[in-house]
Amino acid sequence: MCFDLAADPTWRTLITDPARILEMTRRMLTWRSRHLDRTHTGLLVQSGGVGIWPPGVEWKEPNS
């Protein structure tokens, strides 16, 4: 689905022009290919994984 947020910020107006959809799709895939770096994902696994939680992560500290 492709929406014209400039014309309708409520996401209800679909774009049906194939040329606009193709251009937006091209731009979205280009952005994704430039920002799809998973180098640091999955490095910290809680049970036996690599890495440790850094000190001071409040939600990870046991309740005292």
Condensed to tens digits (0 to 9), the pLDDT of residues 7-48 reads 888 988 899 999 999 999 999 999 888 877 766 554 556 665
**Does the pTM exceed 0.75?**
no
Residue 48 lies in a domain: no
CA pair distance 26, 33, nearest whole angstrom: 11
Residue 11 lies in a domain: yes
- Between 61 and 12, the more confident residue is 12
Residue 27 lies in a domain: yes
pLDDT of residue 60: 63
Count of structural domains within the chain: 1
Which CB contacts under 8 angstroms, 24+ apart, belong to 3-10? none
Q: Are 15 and 2 in contact (CB under 8 A)?
A: yes
**Residue indicated by tokens 């309740």:** 63
Q: Are 21 and 28 in contact (CB under 8 A)?
A: no
Cα angle 33, 41, 26 (rounded to 5 degrees) comes to 15
